[in-house]
């Protein structure tokens, strides 16, 4: 399948526009995003891309928010070769977890060795939110516990949870790339028992988990936290990231309404991960 990479350059950035823009582009069919300080890259299937809708969306933005965009058609290709040419490097998190791809050599030794061959331009473990989630997961006791990796991306968290003994594990992502790539990566790491599904929070009806991991974005978390809370019984855990420190209070307010008590939070370069327990 061919895809469109939409690159947005943002002026007058005040700290909350990333989530707002991602939410609005999601309404136009974009389902994967990569964030930089003043730039967003968004991806959708080429078959549904409509430049007129992008123009109409751009023209409807507030006058004080200036967004310029360009887009590129991305053909199917060998993404390992792309990453190798761009010097994607192994990453060690928390001293105990190394994440690398099949083309890497001289891989650092670590207790948890995760092999990831990522699709497109995301999912390598280098983003602050992934680092936060991996670091937090390393501290949790998950052996023998049921676990959901919501918004699984390349499957890094589900694979790490399996290495730590969690079972059964479900990994869900709405993005077709992520769904297929997680399937590939769990095979690479020898954890075919992980159940991988494509979809959103609508899949969670009548399910129960001991631990839910959700590394998505602020708007989706706020919209779907009620589904996560219904999947947790008393004492069970919800670990979330994908939002800025400036959004932590609004996330916490919603969590309290749903009977979730914050145990701790961690911050990395203004990104935050929070751990909640169901009351």
**Choice between 163 and 99, residue whose per-residue pLDDT is larger:** 163
**pLDDT number for residue 40:** 82
Tokens for 159?
A: 């694979």
Does residue 104 form part of some domain? no
Q: What is the pTM of this model?
A: 0.77
Tokens for 158?
A: 């589900």
Question: 197 φ, ψ to 5°?
Answer: -135, 150
> Is the separation of the CB atoms in 190 and 125 below 8 Å?
no
Model pLDDT for residues 37-88, shown as the tens digit of each residue = 677 888 887 888 999 999 998 888 877 777 889 998 877 655 555 554 554 6
Domains: count for the chain: 2
Distance CA 200, CA 191 (A): 22
- Pick left, alpha or beta for residue 106 (phi over 0 → left; psi -120 to 50 → alpha; otherwise beta): left
Domain end marker among 74, 92, 113: 74
Q: Select from 274, 258, 173 the least CA-distant residue to 223.
A: 258
Model pLDDT for residues 230-270, shown as the tens digit of each residue = 999 999 999 999 888 888 999 999 999 999 999 999 998 88
Report whether pLDDT(36) > 80: no
Does residue 225 form part of some domain? yes
Q: Select from 79, 85, 155 the least CA-distant residue to 116.
A: 155
- 208: domain CATH number is 3.40.50.150
Confidence bin at 9 (pLDDT 50/70/90): confident
Range of the domain at 203: 137-278
> Is the separation of the CB atoms in 239 and 140 below 8 Å?
yes
In sequence order, the β-bridge partners of residue 44 are: 4
Tokens for 216?
A: 């998505």
Report whether pLDDT(277) > 90: yes
Per-residue pLDDT, averaged over 204-219, amounts to 92
Does residue 31 form part of some domain? yes
Per-residue pLDDT, averaged over 204-222, amounts to 92
Task: State whether 62 and 185 are in the same domain.
Answer: no
Per-residue pLDDT, averaged over 185-192, amounts to 95
Does residue 113 form part of some domain? no
């Amino acid at each position: 399948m061919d895809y469109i990479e939409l690159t947005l350059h943002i002026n007058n950035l005040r700290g909350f526009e990333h989530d707002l823009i991602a939410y609005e582009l999601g309404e136009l069919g974009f389902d994967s995003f990569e964030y930089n300080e003043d730039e967003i890259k968004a991806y959708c299937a080429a078959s549904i891309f409509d430049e007129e809708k992008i123009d109409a969306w751009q023209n409807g933005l507030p006058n004080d928010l200036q967004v310029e965009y360009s887009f590129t058609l991305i053909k199917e290709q060998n993404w390992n070769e792309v990453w190798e040419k761009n010097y994607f490097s192994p990453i060690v998190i928390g001293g105990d977890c190394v994440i690398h791809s099949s083309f890497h050599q001289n891989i650092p030794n670590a207790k948890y060795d995760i092999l990831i061959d990522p699709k497109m331009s995301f999912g390598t473990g280098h983003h602050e939110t992934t680092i936060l989630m991996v670091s937090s997961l390393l501290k949790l006791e998950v052996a023998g516990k049921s676990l959901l990796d919501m918004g699984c991306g390349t499957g890094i968290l589900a694979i790490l949870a399996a290495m730590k003994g969690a079972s059964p594990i479900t990994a869900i992502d709405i993005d077709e790339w992520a769904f297929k790539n997680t399937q590939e990566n769990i095979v690479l790491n020898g954890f075919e028992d992980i159940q991988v599904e494509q979809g959103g929070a609508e899949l969670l009806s009548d399910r129960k988990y001991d631990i839910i991991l959700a590394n998505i974005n602020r708007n989706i978390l706020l919209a779907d936290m009620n589904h996560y809370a219904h999947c947790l019984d008393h004492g069970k855990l919800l670990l979330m990231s994908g939002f800025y420190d400036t959004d932590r209070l609004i996330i916490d307010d919603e969590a309290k309404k749903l009977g979730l008590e914050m145990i701790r939070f961690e911050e990395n370069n203004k990104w935050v991960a929070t751990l909640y327990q169901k009351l």
